[in-house]
Amino acid sequence: MESFVVVEIAGKQYRVKSGDVLLVNRLEEKEGDTVTFDRVLLAASGKKTEIGTPLVKGAKVSAKILAQEKGEKLNVRRYKSKVRYRKSTGFRPKYTKIQIVSV
pTM above 0.85, yes or no: no
CA distances from 42 to 17, 51, 61, 85 (A): 12, 5, 12, 49
CA 16 to chain centre: 10
Per-residue pLDDT reduced to its tens digit, 27-46: 999 999 999 999 999 999 88
Amino acid 46: pLDDT: 85
**Gap between the Cα atoms of 65 and 10, Å rounded:** 14
